[in-house]
Structure 1
Amino acid sequence: MGVYAPEKAMLQAPEREVVMEIDSSKLPALESDTPIEAPAESHLLPTGQFIPSVGIIYENDAWLSSLFSALQNAGIPFEPIDVRNHSFDLLKSRKHTLYLNRVSPSSYLRGNDGAISHAHALLASLEASGTQVVNGSRSFRLETSKVAQQILMNSLGVDVPRTDVVSNCDAVRRLLDKLVFPLILKPDTGGSGAFVRRIENKKHMLDVLDDEEVFAPGHLMLLQEIVVPEDGSIARVEFVDGECLFAMKVKPQNTFNLCPAEGCPRHPITEGVEPQATFKPWSDVPPEAVAQAREILRTAQLDIGGVEWIDTADGRRCFIDINATSVYREDIQKATNVNGFLKVCGYLARELAKEDAKAPNKRWRGGI
């Protein structure tokens, strides 16, 4: 896949022609730490005029401001679809040529408990109608389940942390004599390091189980081995349509929150010690690691996303996470000279052209 430069993409159909121009010079500063209000209206042509368009399914305004601005400046027609307050006709959900899913597994941490279930239902309805969804239902199932992620990665033969899955506190107690400490206790549906705890020994485990809130509401929990990075850093690579945009090293200090979003709150592991995470570009990432990460995303049917792993002192390369809601840091983009949002716009423009060519005169009527 080549770089989508500031050039015109022609979307042609019988008796009509649509020109979309992506101009990187028009893109605003990528200030992901400065939330702006999401567009309240569709960026579409007036009723009666047809143009290929994208529906953006989301729930967190703060992480979408830069993408909305990039799409608007690139001239790509789109409509924000906020699943926090949304309804749709189950059999007539399609309204746009193409959809992009940007719902985060951490939505429940922002009080949006129903966002994940609603997004699952909407994606299923859209795909049942033959609609292409970028980061669709399969990738979203993986995004919202650490268990599913590990099963997929294990099927590809890559190293993953040893893990036990438990349904409640009693199940943990029955496993106590078989567990190797220290270990990590984490929820199946993750997000920003929430509900993740380091457990030092059996006594610590029993003390934690006395806390009624140790299990995230309605979640499976994982008991996972601690994988220690050789240099104290976790590696992450970002992809768009199979192209590796950049790699970075994340060094967390007193936090399990590895979210790259600037301004994302980082809860401390140990009270009284300031939590932080530093992000540095990584130019000499091993090609074989990039190839493994690319294959993970391909198998996950994840068009836009990232993969995290840990390189250990004893030679392990242990893959730990798949991320479908990439948030591109301004400092990393500047350091690598890569505009992630422009790459996303280029990919969406190409996919719009492909989808429009399949049925150029078709109109979709739906309730989204």
Structure 2
Amino acid sequence: MSKVYVIHENSEWTEHLTKRLEELEVPYEEWFLDQGVVDLTEEPPEGVFYSRISASSHTRDHRYAPELTEAVLAWLERHGRTVINGSSALHLELSKVNQYMALNKAGVRTPKTLAAVGKQQIVEAAEKLNVSSFITKHNRAGKGLGVQLFHTIEGLKDYLEGPEFEEPVDGITLVQEYIKAPEPYITRCEFIDGKFVYAVQVDTSEGFELCPADACTIDDLFCPVGEQPEEQSKFRILENFDQPIIEKYEQFLADNGIQIAGIEFIYDQNGEIFTYDVNTNTNYNSDAEAKADKYGMLEMARFLKRELETLKNTVSI
């Protein structure tokens, strides 16, 4: 029997989806890909395969989950299986450089960014950027890990030689102009089946780690906690959000074979939009969704159910 296969390496980020699949009576199976064997001589089972592998997998001791997933997705796609967020999506998930190049190709503006390998080269990149304030971030990260804000080159040098410096898992550090917003928040747009679902405003006054998943409350300081008072809620779904950038985002997703994603942008002092992150392993905040009566994982489960029904109808013809 065909079913939905959920490919992931973090159960805490996936249980919200599987509960919705059960609610809709969608048959599913989880493929936990922190390690394993891919038999390339066999054909994969029939079904709909949805990849939720994250760029931050190495922070959970799943260092090679993306590489294993890449092999699995190549195997699935070779045999013509229905894959949601396949190889092209993973390609962008694992590299902000790749994200920015694809966004720019789609006519989406990103912050000025230089990529560097080596501490001295990071300093050289910052000097070449020649801006008053800049940030460093990992090329492969997720959750805002490794993001640091600097106002001087000397501050950067102290960080690079100090105990807090984090070596990126792929060796690439991005040096990026700091976009100063008139108010301390960013906006994240959620897409399912390549179409806009809602936008959520995220308070950034306490830091850069912006994972909206409820599971992040376990050990991520700046993620939301349950049952927050209204005035303390970091995540707020925006009503009647209507920005021309949405059309460009949807075209970008279509061009890159991405069906499910969260795309983050920030306004500068002049109201210009700068897009800086694409999350193909997107998560949602339950408090914000309950207040707005909009549920990302439910919409995702409905989408996967439709894909499975389409596959069954095609096979039966």
After TM superposition, the score normalised by the length of structure 1 is 0.77
Q: Structure 2 matches for 1:344-363, cutoff 5 A? A: 344-360=300-316
Q: Structure 2 matches for 1:155-304, cutoff 5 A? A: 155-179=105-129, 180-211=131-162, 213-264=165-216, 265-267=219-221, 278-304=234-260
Q: Structure 2 matches for 1:298-317, cutoff 5 A? A: 298-317=254-273
In the TM superposition, what whole-angstrom CA distance separates every residue of 1:301-324 from its partner, at most 9, and x where no partner exists?
211111111122213111111111
* Alignment partners' CA distance in 2, 1:108 and 1:304: 22
* Alignment partners' CA distance in 2, 1:341 and 1:287: 23
* Alignment partners' CA distance in 1, 2:128 and 2:48: 49
* Alignment partners' CA distance in 2, 1:277 and 1:334: 12
* Alignment partners' CA distance in 2, 1:195 and 1:283: 32
* Alignment partners' CA distance in 1, 2:233 and 2:152: 26
State the one-letter code of the partner of 2:122. Answer: V
In the TM superposition, what whole-angstrom CA distance separates every residue of 1:36-71 from its partner, at most 9, and x where no partner exists?
xxxxxxxxxxxxxxx221111010011111111111
More divergent stretch after superposition (141-150 vs 238-247): 238-247
Q: Structure 2 matches for 1:1-368, cutoff 5 A? A: 51-92=1-42, 94-179=44-129, 180-211=131-162, 213-264=165-216, 265-267=219-221, 278-360=234-316
Shift of the 86–290 alpha-carbon distance from structure 1 to 2, 3 Å rule, reads: same
* Alignment partners' CA distance in 2, 1:345 and 1:97: 14
In the TM superposition, what whole-angstrom CA distance separates every residue of 1:283-315 from its partner, at most 9, and x where no partner exists?
132231322322222222211111111122213
* Alignment partners' CA distance in 1, 2:23 and 2:195: 23
* Alignment partners' CA distance in 2, 1:297 and 1:219: 27
* Alignment partners' CA distance in 2, 1:125 and 1:256: 36
Deviating beyond 4 angstroms after TM superposition, the runs of 4 or more aligned structure 1 residues are none
Whether the 8 Å contact between 2:191 and 2:261 is mirrored in structure 1 is yes
* Alignment partners' CA distance in 1, 2:207 and 2:10: 22
**Shift of the alpha carbon at 1:93?**
5.1
* Alignment partners' CA distance in 2, 1:318 and 1:87: 41
2:229 aligned partner:
none
* Alignment partners' CA distance in 2, 1:241 and 1:78: 19
State the one-letter code of the partner of 1:225. Answer: E
Structure 1: gaps spanning 5 or more residues: 1-50, 269-275, 362-368
Which structure's residues are more often helix, by fraction? 2
Over the matched positions of the two proteins, sequence identity in percent amounts to: 27
Whether the 8 Å contact between 2:133 and 2:149 is mirrored in structure 1 is yes
After TM superposition, the score normalised by the length of structure 2 is 0.89
Whether the 8 Å contact between 2:203 and 2:234 is mirrored in structure 1 is yes
In the TM superposition, what whole-angstrom CA distance separates every residue of 1:97-116 from its partner, at most 9, and x where no partner exists?
11000111111111111111
1:23 aligned partner:
none
Whether the 8 Å contact between 2:265 and 2:273 is mirrored in structure 1 is yes
Shift of the 191–137 alpha-carbon distance from structure 1 to 2, 3 Å rule, reads: same
* Alignment partners' CA distance in 2, 1:102 and 1:317: 27
* Alignment partners' CA distance in 2, 1:335 and 1:298: 30
Aligned-residue CA RMSD (Å): 2.0
In the TM superposition, what whole-angstrom CA distance separates every residue of 1:62-91 from its partner, at most 9, and x where no partner exists?
111111111122111111100013222023
Shift of the 228–266 alpha-carbon distance from structure 1 to 2, 3 Å rule, reads: farther
More divergent stretch after superposition (123-132 vs 351-360): 351-360
Whether the 8 Å contact between 1:208 and 1:214 is mirrored in structure 2 is no
* Alignment partners' CA distance in 2, 1:211 and 1:235: 32
